Amino acid sequence: GEIRVGSSPILHTKEEHRDRDALSFFRRGRRLFAAAGGEALLQRTKEKFRGDLAKIFSASHI
């Protein structure tokens, strides 16, 4: 199914394909990341970041 809206349908499918590739790459990356115990690391990083953010925020609101 090609969709022609004034411009070339090839560009449309190219963009769709790129988005699909990016999405599948991201999903595969997440799976590998989780398999390598990345979720725990991500959680720690998130907590540390929140702590730093809270410090910065409270320091700027004294």
Q: What is the mean pLDDT of residues 30-56?
A: 83
**More confidently predicted of 3 and 58:** 58
Model confidence pTM above 0.85: no
- Please tell me the distance from the alpha carbon of residue 25 to that of residue 44, in angstroms, as a whole number: 24
Q: Is residue 25 part of a domain?
A: yes
Mean pLDDT of the chain: 76
Q: Is residue 3 part of a domain?
A: no
Q: How many domains does the chain have?
A: 1
Quick check: 41 pLDDT over 60? yes
Q: Is residue 54 part of a domain?
A: yes
**More confidently predicted of 9 and 36:** 36
Q: Is residue 4 part of a domain?
A: no
- Please tell me the distance from the alpha carbon of residue 57 to that of residue 50, in angstroms, as a whole number: 10
Residue 18: domain span: 9-60
Q: Is residue 1 part of a domain?
A: no
Question: Which runs of E-coded beta strand occur in the chain?
Answer: none
